[in-house]
Protein backbone atom coordinates (compact mmCIF):
# COMPACT_ATOMS: atom_id res chain seq x y z
CA UNK A 1 0.00 0.00 0.00
CA UNK A 2 1.40 3.34 -1.06
CA UNK A 3 1.86 5.68 1.88
CA UNK A 4 0.96 8.59 -0.39
CA UNK A 5 -2.56 7.54 -1.37
CA UNK A 6 -4.85 10.57 -1.03
CA UNK A 7 -8.40 9.19 -1.36
CA UNK A 8 -9.94 5.84 -0.54
CA UNK A 9 -13.08 4.53 -2.26
CA UNK A 10 -15.16 1.39 -2.02
CA UNK A 11 -16.44 -0.38 -5.10
CA UNK A 12 -20.25 -0.57 -5.39
CA UNK A 13 -20.30 -4.15 -4.12
CA UNK A 14 -18.26 -3.14 -1.02
CA UNK A 15 -20.85 -0.56 0.10
CA UNK A 16 -22.36 -1.80 3.40
CA UNK A 17 -25.73 -3.54 3.05
CA UNK A 18 -26.86 -2.98 6.67
CA UNK A 19 -27.04 -0.02 9.04
CA UNK A 20 -25.67 -0.34 12.58
CA UNK A 21 -28.06 0.12 15.52
CA UNK A 22 -25.87 0.97 18.53
CA UNK A 23 -28.88 0.75 20.89
CA UNK A 24 -28.54 -3.06 20.75
CA UNK A 25 -24.97 -2.94 22.08
CA UNK A 26 -25.33 -0.15 24.66
CA UNK A 27 -24.95 -1.36 28.24
CA UNK A 28 -27.23 1.40 29.54
CA UNK A 29 -30.05 1.71 27.00
CA UNK A 30 -31.57 5.12 26.31
CA UNK A 31 -34.56 5.79 28.58
CA UNK A 32 -37.89 5.61 26.71
CA UNK A 33 -39.63 8.61 25.14
CA UNK A 34 -42.79 9.40 27.17
CA UNK A 35 -46.31 10.31 26.17
CA UNK A 36 -46.57 13.88 27.53
CA UNK A 37 -50.13 13.38 28.83
CA UNK A 38 -49.93 9.94 30.46
CA UNK A 39 -46.12 9.94 31.11
CA UNK A 40 -46.17 6.33 29.88
CA UNK A 41 -43.33 4.96 27.68
CA UNK A 42 -44.11 5.31 24.02
CA UNK A 43 -44.84 2.23 21.89
CA UNK A 44 -44.05 2.17 18.14
CA UNK A 45 -47.81 2.21 17.39
CA UNK A 46 -48.14 5.56 19.18
CA UNK A 47 -45.99 7.12 16.45
CA UNK A 48 -47.85 5.58 13.45
CA UNK A 49 -50.04 8.68 12.80
CA UNK A 50 -46.91 10.78 12.22
CA UNK A 51 -44.14 8.60 10.76
CA UNK A 52 -43.94 5.61 8.39
CA UNK A 53 -44.43 2.39 10.43
CA UNK A 54 -41.02 0.90 9.69
CA UNK A 55 -39.38 4.10 10.98
CA UNK A 56 -41.42 3.93 14.22
CA UNK A 57 -40.02 0.44 14.84
CA UNK A 58 -36.46 1.45 13.99
CA UNK A 59 -36.82 4.39 16.39
CA UNK A 60 -37.43 2.18 19.43
CA UNK A 61 -35.48 -0.96 18.43
CA UNK A 62 -33.06 -1.90 21.23
CA UNK A 63 -32.55 -5.53 20.11
CA UNK A 64 -31.30 -5.75 16.52
CA UNK A 65 -27.75 -4.46 16.01
CA UNK A 66 -27.96 -4.75 12.21
CA UNK A 67 -30.82 -3.50 10.03
CA UNK A 68 -30.93 -4.42 6.32
CA UNK A 69 -30.80 -1.49 3.92
CA UNK A 70 -33.61 -2.01 1.36
CA UNK A 71 -32.35 -2.78 -2.14
CA UNK A 72 -34.13 0.30 -3.60
CA UNK A 73 -32.26 2.52 -1.12
CA UNK A 74 -28.94 0.79 -1.86
CA UNK A 75 -29.50 1.46 -5.57
CA UNK A 76 -29.94 5.16 -4.80
CA UNK A 77 -26.92 5.25 -2.45
CA UNK A 78 -24.88 4.22 -5.53
CA UNK A 79 -25.63 7.63 -7.09
CA UNK A 80 -23.02 9.16 -4.75
CA UNK A 81 -21.64 6.44 -2.47
CA UNK A 82 -19.14 5.41 -1.41
CA UNK A 83 -18.12 8.92 -0.49
CA UNK A 84 -14.36 9.41 -0.41
CA UNK A 85 -12.26 9.01 2.72
CA UNK A 86 -9.53 11.60 2.26
CA UNK A 87 -6.13 11.89 3.91
CA UNK A 88 -5.80 15.62 4.60
CA UNK A 89 -2.12 15.96 3.64
CA UNK A 90 -2.67 19.63 2.79
CA UNK A 91 -4.16 20.42 6.19
CA UNK A 92 -1.46 18.41 8.03
CA UNK A 93 1.21 20.41 6.21
CA UNK A 94 -0.49 23.75 6.88
CA UNK A 95 -0.62 22.89 10.60
CA UNK A 96 2.84 21.30 10.75
CA UNK A 97 1.35 18.49 12.82
CA UNK A 98 2.63 14.92 13.11
CA UNK A 99 -1.02 13.77 13.39
CA UNK A 100 -2.55 11.82 10.51
CA UNK A 101 -5.78 13.61 9.63
CA UNK A 102 -8.53 11.95 7.59
CA UNK A 103 -11.97 13.24 6.64
CA UNK A 104 -15.04 11.54 5.22
CA UNK A 105 -16.39 13.77 2.46
CA UNK A 106 -20.21 13.72 2.63
CA UNK A 107 -20.35 16.97 0.66
CA UNK A 108 -20.21 14.99 -2.61
CA UNK A 109 -23.86 13.94 -2.32
CA UNK A 110 -26.09 15.50 -5.03
CA UNK A 111 -27.59 17.87 -2.46
CA UNK A 112 -24.25 18.75 -0.88
CA UNK A 113 -24.64 17.19 2.58
CA UNK A 114 -25.07 13.95 4.53
CA UNK A 115 -28.84 14.59 4.91
CA UNK A 116 -29.66 12.53 1.81
CA UNK A 117 -28.51 9.33 3.61
CA UNK A 118 -31.69 9.46 5.70
CA UNK A 119 -34.02 11.29 3.29
CA UNK A 120 -33.83 8.36 0.83
CA UNK A 121 -34.87 5.61 3.27
CA UNK A 122 -37.52 7.82 4.89
CA UNK A 123 -39.14 8.52 1.50
CA UNK A 124 -38.77 4.86 0.52
CA UNK A 125 -40.55 3.49 3.64
CA UNK A 126 -43.36 6.03 3.15
CA UNK A 127 -43.78 4.93 -0.48
CA UNK A 128 -43.76 1.25 0.59
CA UNK A 129 -46.77 1.70 2.88
CA UNK A 130 -48.83 3.57 0.31
CA UNK A 131 -48.18 7.13 1.45
CA UNK A 132 -48.45 9.69 -1.39
CA UNK A 133 -47.38 12.94 0.30
CA UNK A 134 -44.61 13.79 2.72
CA UNK A 135 -44.01 16.95 4.65
CA UNK A 136 -41.26 18.46 6.74
CA UNK A 137 -39.75 21.69 8.00
CA UNK A 138 -36.40 23.19 7.10
CA UNK A 139 -34.36 26.10 8.38
CA UNK A 140 -31.31 26.84 6.26
CA UNK A 141 -32.68 24.31 3.77
CA UNK A 142 -30.21 21.38 3.76
CA UNK A 143 -32.80 18.89 4.98
CA UNK A 144 -35.53 20.36 2.76
CA UNK A 145 -33.31 19.93 -0.32
CA UNK A 146 -32.49 16.31 0.57
CA UNK A 147 -36.11 15.44 1.25
CA UNK A 148 -37.36 17.16 -1.93
CA UNK A 149 -34.98 15.09 -4.05
CA UNK A 150 -35.75 11.84 -2.19
CA UNK A 151 -39.50 12.46 -2.64
CA UNK A 152 -39.02 12.91 -6.39
CA UNK A 153 -36.96 9.70 -6.59
CA UNK A 154 -39.74 7.63 -4.98
CA UNK A 155 -42.64 9.40 -6.70
CA UNK A 156 -44.02 11.31 -3.68
CA UNK A 157 -45.26 14.87 -3.39
CA UNK A 158 -43.22 16.94 -0.91
CA UNK A 159 -44.47 19.96 1.02
CA UNK A 160 -41.73 21.82 2.88
CA UNK A 161 -42.31 24.54 5.46
CA UNK A 162 -39.25 26.77 5.41
CA UNK A 163 -38.63 29.23 8.24
CA UNK A 164 -39.68 32.57 6.71
CA UNK A 165 -36.47 34.42 7.45
CA UNK A 166 -34.44 31.67 5.70
CA UNK A 167 -36.93 31.51 2.81
CA UNK A 168 -36.09 35.13 2.11
CA UNK A 169 -32.39 35.09 3.09
CA UNK A 170 -31.38 31.76 1.46
CA UNK A 171 -33.15 31.95 -1.91
CA UNK A 172 -30.91 29.36 -3.58
CA UNK A 173 -31.87 26.51 -1.25
CA UNK A 174 -35.52 27.36 -1.92
CA UNK A 175 -34.79 27.24 -5.68
CA UNK A 176 -33.12 23.84 -5.29
CA UNK A 177 -36.17 22.42 -3.50
CA UNK A 178 -38.46 23.86 -6.18
CA UNK A 179 -36.21 22.48 -8.95
CA UNK A 180 -36.77 18.99 -7.52
CA UNK A 181 -40.51 19.70 -7.64
CA UNK A 182 -41.31 20.39 -3.97
CA UNK A 183 -43.90 22.86 -2.80
CA UNK A 184 -42.12 25.30 -0.48
CA UNK A 185 -44.14 27.47 1.91
CA UNK A 186 -42.66 30.20 4.11
CA UNK A 187 -43.57 29.53 7.74
CA UNK A 188 -45.62 30.80 9.55
CA UNK A 189 -48.25 30.51 6.81
CA UNK A 190 -52.02 30.84 6.56
CA UNK A 191 -52.26 27.18 5.42
CA UNK A 192 -52.41 25.74 8.96
CA UNK A 193 -54.19 26.59 12.21
CA UNK A 194 -50.85 26.93 14.01
CA UNK A 195 -49.56 29.34 11.34
CA UNK A 196 -52.80 31.34 11.21
CA UNK A 197 -52.79 31.79 14.97
CA UNK A 198 -49.26 33.18 14.97
CA UNK A 199 -49.82 35.47 11.98
CA UNK A 200 -53.06 36.84 13.41
CA UNK A 201 -51.23 37.83 16.59
CA UNK A 202 -48.05 38.98 14.83
CA UNK A 203 -48.33 39.56 11.03
CA UNK A 204 -44.55 40.19 10.77
CA UNK A 205 -43.48 36.98 12.52
CA UNK A 206 -40.31 35.69 10.79
CA UNK A 207 -40.79 32.10 11.92
CA UNK A 208 -38.67 29.54 13.73
CA UNK A 209 -37.96 25.84 13.40
CA UNK A 210 -40.41 25.20 16.23
CA UNK A 211 -43.24 26.91 14.35
CA UNK A 212 -42.37 25.18 11.07
CA UNK A 213 -42.39 21.78 12.83
CA UNK A 214 -45.85 22.53 14.22
CA UNK A 215 -47.14 23.42 10.73
CA UNK A 216 -45.63 20.31 9.10
CA UNK A 217 -46.99 17.95 11.80
CA UNK A 218 -50.44 19.56 11.55
CA UNK A 219 -50.47 19.05 7.77
CA UNK A 220 -49.35 15.42 8.14
CA UNK A 221 -51.98 14.42 10.70
CA UNK A 222 -54.81 16.30 8.91
CA UNK A 223 -54.09 15.04 5.36
CA UNK A 224 -54.88 11.46 4.23
CA UNK A 225 -51.82 9.46 3.08
CA UNK A 226 -49.44 12.12 4.31
CA UNK A 227 -46.53 11.53 6.71
CA UNK A 228 -44.11 13.80 8.48
CA UNK A 229 -40.31 13.36 8.25
CA UNK A 230 -37.45 14.73 10.33
CA UNK A 231 -33.81 15.25 9.33
CA UNK A 232 -32.00 14.95 12.67
CA UNK A 233 -32.33 14.20 16.41
CA UNK A 234 -34.37 10.99 16.14
CA UNK A 235 -32.70 7.59 16.54
CA UNK A 236 -33.85 6.24 13.15
CA UNK A 237 -32.20 9.21 11.42
CA UNK A 238 -28.87 8.47 13.12
CA UNK A 239 -29.30 4.77 12.27
CA UNK A 240 -29.41 5.64 8.55
CA UNK A 241 -26.38 7.90 8.93
CA UNK A 242 -24.21 5.00 10.18
CA UNK A 243 -23.55 4.27 6.49
CA UNK A 244 -20.91 7.03 6.88
CA UNK A 245 -18.96 5.32 9.66
CA UNK A 246 -19.41 1.80 8.25
CA UNK A 247 -17.85 2.90 4.97
CA UNK A 248 -15.13 4.81 6.81
CA UNK A 249 -14.27 1.72 8.84
CA UNK A 250 -13.52 -0.23 5.64
CA UNK A 251 -11.72 2.72 4.07
CA UNK A 252 -9.51 3.29 7.15
CA UNK A 253 -8.58 -0.38 6.87
CA UNK A 254 -7.53 0.24 3.25
CA UNK A 255 -5.38 3.10 4.56
CA UNK A 256 -3.88 0.72 7.12
CA UNK A 257 -4.94 2.87 10.09
CA UNK A 258 -7.52 3.01 12.90
CA UNK A 259 -8.72 6.31 14.39
CA UNK A 260 -7.58 7.44 17.86
CA UNK A 261 -10.07 10.31 17.68
CA UNK A 262 -13.37 10.62 15.73
CA UNK A 263 -15.02 14.04 15.40
CA UNK A 264 -18.33 15.32 14.05
CA UNK A 265 -20.16 18.64 14.27
CA UNK A 266 -23.30 18.44 16.37
CA UNK A 267 -26.82 19.75 15.68
CA UNK A 268 -29.12 16.94 16.81
CA UNK A 269 -26.42 14.28 16.51
CA UNK A 270 -27.09 12.44 13.25
CA UNK A 271 -23.84 13.04 11.36
CA UNK A 272 -21.80 12.76 14.57
CA UNK A 273 -23.50 9.45 15.46
CA UNK A 274 -23.26 8.35 11.83
CA UNK A 275 -19.49 8.53 11.71
CA UNK A 276 -18.90 7.56 15.37
CA UNK A 277 -21.15 4.62 16.26
CA UNK A 278 -19.56 1.98 14.00
CA UNK A 279 -16.19 2.74 15.65
CA UNK A 280 -17.71 3.12 19.13
CA UNK A 281 -19.00 -0.43 18.84
CA UNK A 282 -15.36 -1.59 19.10
CA UNK A 283 -14.94 0.48 22.29
CA UNK A 284 -18.05 -1.15 23.77
CA UNK A 285 -17.44 -4.73 22.60
CA UNK A 286 -13.64 -4.99 22.46
CA UNK A 287 -12.39 -2.31 24.81
CA UNK A 288 -10.81 -0.11 22.14
CA UNK A 289 -9.91 3.36 23.41
CA UNK A 290 -10.92 5.69 20.56
CA UNK A 291 -12.12 9.15 21.71
CA UNK A 292 -15.31 10.58 20.19
CA UNK A 293 -15.73 14.36 20.16
CA UNK A 294 -18.95 16.23 19.29
CA UNK A 295 -18.29 19.84 18.20
CA UNK A 296 -21.17 22.19 19.00
CA UNK A 297 -21.50 25.98 18.67
CA UNK A 298 -20.61 28.05 21.75
CA UNK A 299 -23.92 29.88 21.26
CA UNK A 300 -25.99 26.67 21.50
CA UNK A 301 -24.07 24.48 23.98
CA UNK A 302 -26.56 21.79 25.03
CA UNK A 303 -23.89 19.12 25.47
CA UNK A 304 -21.34 21.20 27.38
CA UNK A 305 -23.74 23.39 29.40
CA UNK A 306 -27.20 21.80 29.18
CA UNK A 307 -28.83 19.37 31.62
CA UNK A 308 -29.81 15.74 31.09
CA UNK A 309 -33.56 15.45 31.54
CA UNK A 310 -36.91 14.87 29.83
CA UNK A 311 -37.86 17.74 27.51
CA UNK A 312 -39.95 18.40 24.42
CA UNK A 313 -38.34 18.19 20.98
CA UNK A 314 -40.10 21.34 19.76
CA UNK A 315 -40.99 24.80 21.00
CA UNK A 316 -44.75 24.21 20.93
CA UNK A 317 -44.51 21.02 23.01
CA UNK A 318 -46.25 18.73 20.46
CA UNK A 319 -43.59 15.98 20.45
CA UNK A 320 -43.14 13.17 23.00
CA UNK A 321 -40.96 13.91 26.03
CA UNK A 322 -37.40 12.85 25.23
CA UNK A 323 -34.62 12.07 27.74
CA UNK A 324 -31.86 14.33 26.48
CA UNK A 325 -29.23 16.95 27.10
CA UNK A 326 -31.13 20.17 26.61
CA UNK A 327 -30.99 23.92 27.09
CA UNK A 328 -34.79 23.91 27.50
CA UNK A 329 -37.21 23.87 24.56
CA UNK A 330 -37.81 27.61 24.97
CA UNK A 331 -34.13 28.34 24.39
CA UNK A 332 -33.84 30.59 21.32
CA UNK A 333 -30.38 30.12 19.76
CA UNK A 334 -28.59 33.14 18.30
CA UNK A 335 -28.83 33.54 14.54
CA UNK A 336 -25.48 31.92 13.66
CA UNK A 337 -24.73 30.86 10.07
CA UNK A 338 -24.50 27.19 11.04
CA UNK A 339 -28.31 26.92 10.92
CA UNK A 340 -28.16 23.12 11.18
CA UNK A 341 -26.62 23.37 14.66
CA UNK A 342 -29.26 25.72 16.09
CA UNK A 343 -31.24 23.20 18.10
CA UNK A 344 -31.89 23.20 21.85
CA UNK A 345 -31.50 19.45 22.48
CA UNK A 346 -29.56 16.31 21.59
CA UNK A 347 -30.80 12.90 20.40
CA UNK A 348 -31.60 10.31 23.10
CA UNK A 349 -28.79 7.91 22.14
CA UNK A 350 -25.96 10.46 22.15
CA UNK A 351 -27.38 11.93 25.35
CA UNK A 352 -27.09 8.58 27.14
CA UNK A 353 -23.59 7.98 25.69
CA UNK A 354 -22.40 11.37 26.91
CA UNK A 355 -23.88 10.75 30.36
CA UNK A 356 -22.04 7.41 30.49
CA UNK A 357 -18.71 8.95 29.44
CA UNK A 358 -18.48 7.10 26.11
CA UNK A 359 -18.05 10.38 24.23
CA UNK A 360 -16.99 13.99 24.84
CA UNK A 361 -18.17 17.38 23.65
CA UNK A 362 -16.44 20.64 22.89
CA UNK A 363 -17.84 24.06 21.99
CA UNK A 364 -16.56 26.28 19.19
CA UNK A 365 -17.12 30.00 18.69
CA UNK A 366 -18.51 31.19 15.35
CA UNK A 367 -15.37 33.14 14.36
CA UNK A 368 -13.14 30.22 15.35
CA UNK A 369 -15.26 27.91 13.16
CA UNK A 370 -14.87 30.14 10.07
CA UNK A 371 -11.15 30.60 10.74
CA UNK A 372 -10.81 26.81 10.69
CA UNK A 373 -13.04 26.47 7.60
CA UNK A 374 -11.02 29.07 5.70
CA UNK A 375 -7.72 27.37 6.61
CA UNK A 376 -9.21 24.05 5.45
CA UNK A 377 -10.42 25.57 2.16
CA UNK A 378 -6.94 26.91 1.40
CA UNK A 379 -5.27 23.61 2.32
CA UNK A 380 -7.69 21.09 0.78
CA UNK A 381 -9.62 23.15 -1.79
CA UNK A 382 -13.09 22.35 -0.44
CA UNK A 383 -15.22 25.15 1.05
CA UNK A 384 -16.93 23.55 4.06
CA UNK A 385 -20.49 24.16 5.26
CA UNK A 386 -20.64 26.50 8.29
CA UNK A 387 -21.78 23.48 10.35
CA UNK A 388 -18.84 21.34 9.20
CA UNK A 389 -16.41 24.15 10.13
CA UNK A 390 -17.08 23.24 13.80
CA UNK A 391 -15.77 19.69 13.24
CA UNK A 392 -12.74 21.06 11.40
CA UNK A 393 -11.98 23.47 14.26
CA UNK A 394 -12.13 20.62 16.79
CA UNK A 395 -9.88 18.46 14.57
CA UNK A 396 -7.37 21.32 14.27
CA UNK A 397 -7.34 21.74 18.07
CA UNK A 398 -6.51 18.05 18.49
CA UNK A 399 -3.88 18.16 15.72
CA UNK A 400 -2.24 21.16 17.40
CA UNK A 401 -2.03 19.22 20.67
CA UNK A 402 -0.18 16.49 18.75
CA UNK A 403 2.22 19.14 17.49
CA UNK A 404 3.07 20.00 21.10
CA UNK A 405 3.47 16.41 22.26
CA UNK A 406 4.91 15.00 19.02
CA UNK A 407 2.26 12.24 18.96
CA UNK A 408 1.24 10.77 15.58
CA UNK A 409 -2.42 10.37 16.45
CA UNK A 410 -4.91 9.33 13.80
CA UNK A 411 -7.75 11.85 13.65
CA UNK A 412 -10.91 11.24 11.59
CA UNK A 413 -13.62 13.86 11.13
CA UNK A 414 -16.80 14.05 9.11
CA UNK A 415 -17.12 16.78 6.49
CA UNK A 416 -20.93 16.91 6.66
CA UNK A 417 -21.43 19.31 3.74
CA UNK A 418 -19.99 21.97 1.46
CA UNK A 419 -20.55 25.69 1.89
CA UNK A 420 -20.95 26.84 -1.71
CA UNK A 421 -24.49 28.09 -1.02
CA UNK A 422 -23.38 29.81 2.19
CA UNK A 423 -20.89 32.26 0.71
CA UNK A 424 -22.62 35.29 2.24
CA UNK A 425 -21.48 33.89 5.59
CA UNK A 426 -17.88 33.69 4.33
CA UNK A 427 -18.24 37.27 3.01
CA UNK A 428 -19.11 38.41 6.51
CA UNK A 429 -16.17 36.52 7.99
CA UNK A 430 -13.74 37.92 5.40
CA UNK A 431 -14.97 41.48 5.94
CA UNK A 432 -14.51 41.12 9.69
CA UNK A 433 -18.17 41.73 10.49
CA UNK A 434 -18.97 38.23 11.76
CA UNK A 435 -20.08 38.17 15.39
CA UNK A 436 -19.57 35.75 18.25
CA UNK A 437 -22.67 35.12 20.32
CA UNK A 438 -21.92 33.77 23.72
CA UNK A 439 -24.47 32.84 26.27
CA UNK A 440 -24.00 33.43 29.95
CA UNK A 441 -24.45 30.97 32.76
CA UNK A 442 -27.47 33.03 33.87
CA UNK A 443 -29.14 32.56 30.45
CA UNK A 444 -28.71 28.83 30.73
CA UNK A 445 -29.92 28.68 34.33
CA UNK A 446 -33.02 30.72 33.57
CA UNK A 447 -34.10 28.48 30.67
CA UNK A 448 -33.45 25.32 32.60
CA UNK A 449 -35.42 26.64 35.58
CA UNK A 450 -38.36 27.27 33.21
CA UNK A 451 -37.98 23.72 32.02
CA UNK A 452 -38.40 22.29 35.54
CA UNK A 453 -41.77 24.06 35.77
CA UNK A 454 -43.00 22.73 32.42
CA UNK A 455 -42.10 19.13 33.11
CA UNK A 456 -43.82 19.02 36.52
Q: Contact residues for ligand PLP (CB under 6 A)?
A: 113, 115, 142, 232, 265-272, 340-341, 385, 387-388, 416-417
Looking at the Cβ atoms of 226 and 237, the one nearer to ligand PLP is: 237
**Using CA atoms, how far apart are residues 377 and 384, in angstroms rounded to an integer?**
7
CB 412, CB 103: distance < 8 Å: yes
Strand partners, 418: 384
From residue 439, how far is each of 164, 330, 345, 371 by CA, in Å? 25, 14, 16, 21
Q: Which is nearer to ligand PLP, 266 or 325 (CB)?
A: 266
CB of 244 to ligand PLP, least distance (A): 10
Q: Are strands 307-312 and 18-20 parallel, antiparallel or unpaired?
A: unpaired
Q: Widest CA span of the chain, in angstroms?
A: 66
Q: Which residues, at least 6 apart from 14, have a Cβ–Cβ distance to it below 8 Å?
A: 82, 250
Identity of the residue, 220 or 349, whose beta carbon is nearer to ligand PLP in the bound complex: 349
Nearer of residues 306 and 417 to ligand PLP, judged by Cβ? 417
Per DSSP, 22 falls in state G
Transcribe 106-136 into DSSP letters: GGGSTTSBTTHHHHHHHHHHHHHTT--EEEE
- CA dist 205 and 434 (Å) reads 25
- The minimum distance between CB 396 and ligand PLP, in angstroms, equals 17
H-only helix segments in 223-363: 235-254, 270-286, 302-305, 348-355
CB of residue 242 vs ligand PLP: minimum separation in angstroms? 12
Report the alpha-carbon distance of residue 22 to residue 39 in Å, rounded.
25
User: Is beta strand 261-265 parallel, antiparallel or unpaired with respect to 410-415?
Assistant: parallel
Closer CB to ligand PLP, 229 or 271, in the complex: 271
Torsion angle (degrees, nearest 10) of CA 377, 383, 389, 393:
-10
- Smallest gap from Cβ 2 to ligand PLP, in A, equals 31
Q: Could you tell me the smallest distance in angstroms from the CB atom of residue 311 to ligand PLP?
A: 17
Least distance in angstroms from the C-beta of 270 to ligand PLP? 3
- Is 33 or 144 the residue whose CB approaches ligand PLP more closely? 144
Instruction: Give the nearer residue to ligand PLP in terms of CB position, either 59 or 387.
Output: 387
**Closest distance to ligand PLP from the beta carbon of 351 (Å):** 13
First to last CA, the chain: 60
Q: Which of the 8 DSSP states describes residue 344?
A: S
Are 153 and 123 in contact, with CB atoms under 8 Å apart? yes
Distance from C-alpha of 315 to C-alpha of 187, rounded to nearest angstrom: 14
Q: Are 165 and 153 in contact (CB under 8 A)?
A: no
Q: How far is the CB of 241 from ligand PLP (least distance, A)?
A: 7
Nearer to ligand PLP, 327 or 385 (CB): 385
Cβ 273 to ligand PLP, closest distance in Å?
8
Task: Enumerate residues 6+ apart whose C-beta is below 8 A from 13.
Answer: none
Checking DSSP bridges between strand 183-187 and strand 291-297, what pairing results, if any? unpaired
Q: What is the DSSP letter of 137?
A: E
CB of 283 to ligand PLP, least distance (A): 21
Report which of 288, 213, 278 is spatially closest to residue 246, judged by C-alpha positions. Answer: 278
Smallest gap from Cβ 266 to ligand PLP, in A, equals 5
Minimum Å distance from CB 21 to ligand PLP?
17
Q: Which is nearer to ligand PLP, 195 or 347 (CB)?
A: 347
Amino acid sequence: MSTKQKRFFLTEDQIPTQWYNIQADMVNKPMPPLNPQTKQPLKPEDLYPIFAKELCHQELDQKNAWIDIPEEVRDMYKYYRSTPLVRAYGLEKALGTPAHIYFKNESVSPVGSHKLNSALPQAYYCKEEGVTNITTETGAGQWGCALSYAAKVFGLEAAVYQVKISYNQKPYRRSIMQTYGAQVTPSPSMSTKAGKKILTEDPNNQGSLGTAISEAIELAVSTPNCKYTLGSVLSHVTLHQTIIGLEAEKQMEMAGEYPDIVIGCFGGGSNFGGISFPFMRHNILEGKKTRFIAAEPASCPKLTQGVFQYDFGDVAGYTPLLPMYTLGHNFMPANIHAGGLRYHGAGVIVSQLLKDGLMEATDIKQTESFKAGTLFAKAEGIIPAPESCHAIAAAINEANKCKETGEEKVILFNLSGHGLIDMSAYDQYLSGSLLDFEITEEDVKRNIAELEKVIK
